Structure 1
Amino acid sequence: MRDTKESRLLLVLLVAVAFALITVDIRGGQDSPVDGARQAAAAAFGPIEDGVSSAVDPVGNAVSAVRDSGERHDRLAELEKENAALKAKLGSDDRNRSRLAQLDKMLKIAGDGQYGIKGAQVIAIGAAQGFSWTLTIDVGADDGIQRDMTVLNGDGLVGRVTTVGPHTATVLLANDPDFTVGTRMESTDELGFASGQGDRPLRVELLNGKAEVKKGDRLVTFGSQADKPFVPGVPVGIVSRVDPSGGDLTRTLYVTPYVSFTQLDVVGVVVQAPKKDPRDTVLPAKPKPTPTPTVTVTVTPGAGTSVGGQQDGRPEQQ
């Protein structure tokens, strides 16, 4: 449109009409005379607005999604880090709880037997020291450890000290074939000698070939002169089998040791022997026998049972 006198007059008229319509609309409120025109305009231009919105919103949503995704990724990484830390702490706590439980059991044995012990941790096994069943502990001469001291844990006899360094010591395990310890049977006091057989039960030769022994009987250490290498009363194991072909001089037993030699962690070296033999007091309490359940049988009269002078629902014949 060219800038002429008529065009400028038309523009002024349109502006004046617009202001007039705005004034009438404001004063009319909900009853505004231009409400119908507004609705018609909404009906005409609404689809166009929806189309524009649908074209623009995915872009905005994508931007928000990328931003939120970054935030979620950061939070996920943080949660994974926290989860890993918790798992590590839980594992550490489990290990500590296990060691505390082992230590408690060992202290109970030491208290029952009146053994003075030096606690130690297993730091190596025998593979580095040859083919013997041995382990290395983290205490040595500087801790008062000497050769031929008894080693135990919360279950019973572990072995004896064979080599001592300033800060470490080597322990020969009770299941080593070169290991031998004097034993005494619980209650009967029958004496014998137990020898290691690797991953098989200990072999015990009783001095009395006629001794009465049965499966389930228990043994403790008999003790050595001057309490070296063994102090008395340490639990050794339970009889799992008795050789039926007993001779006149000795009788052979096979004993399952109390100690699991493949699961050793916390042990104790007996640095002070008891003042008197504890005998059987260190043995764990025997499990109580499980009572045999009582079976109650209830007999319910059947169709063929005579009840009240009748059988099978028919009167009794005279």
Structure 2
Amino acid sequence: MSPVIKKKRNKFTLPSKYLLLILSGVCVALMLVTFKTDLFEGPLRAAAGYVVVPFQKGIASVGGYLYDRAEEMGQLKEVLAENQALKDQVDALTMENAQLQQDKYELTSLRELYEIDKATSEYEKTGARVIASDSSNWFYSFVIDKGSDDGIQVDMNVLAGSGLAGRVVSVGPNYARVVSIIADNANVYGTILSTSENLMVSGDLQSVMSDGVIRFEQLYDKENKVSEGDKVVTSNISNKYLPGIPIGFISSISTSYNNMTKYGYITPAVDFQHIQEVLVIMELKQQVTQEKHSMDKE
């Protein structure tokens, strides 16, 4: 028995785009027939109305929807543009505020240097900028942008903020390294300004980092005249630091076990976390001492 071969009939399909085009043409034709001529009246015009009116409503609805979306897209673009403009304005204001804060800090720093310059007006000085520091956030050692070409010498005293920062320990042609008084190996003879009592200020980096103070000792104060808040300046007996330069203020004071001397801590006159500009005194203690001796002999 031979197999029955079924043939599939090819079904005719019309692409949707052509169907839409045909329907649109019919709609336009019916609209023209209905509203532009008076040849067809009665049932034909009514039938055309049943076809055309719903189609017109659909087109109007779609058109209105598309118009609304177009309006919304336009508004969205405007909002996005305004938002970007506001972001740019905020960025500009943020940068401007940061610059103002920087300018304010630099102005404060320069004012402090101006005041310490007046307080030590008997010494010739030159200004310099810090160009490098040690790896920590504390300036116990730093480099300035002036050196031997500018007359800088080893052991010259360096001022910052409202007082003594340290001294020059090495010099290059256009730079110099400064070790500050908070370094662990630094020692400065100081004097209590109100009583003229001498003491030794010892660098104590750990105390500065933890409490913002530096240690002092060897204070002879049998009459208990020294108290918290007293100003400490460099002593005339120091062999490397010129006299009368502010070091800081007594923040705490205690009596040693031998009951003969006192020790305690000083709040430094310099912010050793933020040093940008300094003043270098262009005179050495040895030179000043020799000049003074020469004048005394005369």
Range with greater deviation from structure 2 (243-252 or 149-158):
243-252
Q: How many residues align?
A: 230
Distance 1:47 1:106, change over 3 A: farther
Distance 1:120 1:83 in 2: 35
1:202 equivalenced with 2:214 (yes/no): yes
User: Which deviations, in whole Å up to 9, do the C-alpha atoms of 1:200-241 show, x marking residues without a partner?
Assistant: 13332336363532222221111467xx73222121122222
Deviation of residue 86 (structure 1)? 2.4
Distance 1:138 1:189, change over 3 A: same
Distance 2:252 2:115 in 1: 29
- Corresponding residue for 1:281? none
Structure 2 SS opposite 1:262: coil
Distance 1:56 1:199, change over 3 A: same
Distance 1:211 1:50 in 2: 107
Give the counterpart of 1:215 among 228, 241, 244. Answer: 228
Distance 1:266 1:50 in 2: 79
CA RMSD of aligned residues (A): 3.3
Deviation of residue 188 (structure 1)? 0.8
Deviation of residue 175 (structure 1)? 0.9
Distance 1:102 1:183 in 2: 24
Give the counterpart of 1:81 among 85, 88, 91. Answer: 88
Distance 1:241 1:194 in 2: 13
Mapped contact 2:139–2:273 kept (Cα < 8 A): no
Deviation of residue 148 (structure 1)? 0.9
Deviation of residue 246 (structure 1)? 5.5
1:264 equivalenced with 2:275 (yes/no): yes
Structure 2 SS opposite 1:127: coil
Range with greater deviation from structure 2 (193-202 or 65-74):
65-74
- Corresponding residue for 1:174? 181
- What residue identity is the alignment partner of 2:217? E
Q: How does 1:132-143 map to 2 (within 5 A)?
A: 133-143=140-150
Mapped contact 2:157–2:284 kept (Cα < 8 A): no
Mapped contact 2:139–2:275 kept (Cα < 8 A): no
1:116 equivalenced with 2:124 (yes/no): yes
Distance 1:95 1:214, change over 3 A: same
Distance 1:269 1:138 in 2: 11
- Corresponding residue for 2:28? none
1:72 equivalenced with 2:83 (yes/no): no
Mapped contact 1:220–1:237 kept (Cα < 8 A): yes
Distance 1:88 1:111 in 2: 34
Give the counterpart of 1:127 among 113, 125, 135. Answer: 135
Mapped contact 1:178–1:195 kept (Cα < 8 A): yes
- Corresponding residue for 1:304? none
Distance 2:90 2:150 in 1: 40
User: Equivalent pairs: percent with the same residue?
Assistant: 30
5+ unaligned residues in a row in structure 2: which ranges? 1-36, 40-51, 208-212, 289-298
- Structure 2-normalised TM-score? 0.66
5+ unaligned residues in a row in structure 1: which ranges? 1-12, 16-44, 277-318
Mapped contact 1:239–1:255 kept (Cα < 8 A): yes
- What residue identity is the alignment partner of 1:170? R
Range with greater deviation from structure 2 (187-196 or 256-265):
256-265
- Corresponding residue for 1:56? 63
- What residue identity is the alignment partner of 1:216? G
User: Which deviations, in whole Å up to 9, do the C-alpha atoms of 1:80-100 show, x marking residues without a partner?
Assistant: 223212211221121012101
Distance 2:143 2:260 in 1: 38
Distance 1:132 1:126 in 2: 7
